Structure 1
Amino acid sequence: MLKKIYQLLIVPYTLFLLYLMFLGMGRFQYEDNLITVEPILSTIKYIQGVRYWRETVTVVLGNIVMFIPFGFLGWVFPKLKDLKPLFIHFVAAITIVEALQYFTRLGIFEVDDIILNTFGVYLGWLLRRLMEKKFSDSVL
Structure 2
Amino acid sequence: MLKKIYKLLIIPYTLFLLYLMFLGMGRSQYSDNVIRVQPIFATLGFIKNTIRWWDSMRIVLGNIIMFMPFGFLGWIFPKLNNLKSNIFTFISAITIVEALQYFTRLGIFEVDDIILNTFGVFLGFLLKQVAEKRFLNWVS
Q: TM-score interval w.r.t. the shorter chain?
A: over 0.9
Name the structure 1 match of 2:138: 139
Runs of 4+ residues over 3 Å off in structure 1: none
Letter in 2 for 1:139: W
The percent of aligned pairs where both chains have the same amino acid is 67
Name the structure 2 match of 1:97: 97
Q: What does residue range 1-140 of structure 1 map to in structure 2 within 5 Å?
A: 1-136=1-136, 138-140=137-139
Helix, strand or coil at the partner of 2:74: helix
Q: How big is the shift at 1:57?
A: 1.4
RMSD: 0.5
String of CA shifts for 1:121-140, please: whole Å, max 9, x gaps.
Answer: 0000000001111122x311
What TM-score do you get using the length of structure 2 for normalisation?
Answer: 0.98
Distance 1:15 1:101 in 2: 15
Q: How big is the shift at 1:58?
A: 1.2
String of CA shifts for 1:38-93, please: whole Å, max 9, x gaps.
Answer: 00011000000000011011110000000000000000101101000001100000
- In structure 1, the gaps of 5 or more residues are none
Distance 1:105 1:129 in 2: 37
Distance 2:108 2:96 in 1: 12
What TM-score do you get using the length of structure 1 for normalisation?
Answer: 0.98
Letter in 1 for 2:27: R
Aligned length: 139
Distance 1:20 1:96 in 2: 16
Distance 2:85 2:36 in 1: 26
Distance 1:119 1:24 in 2: 23
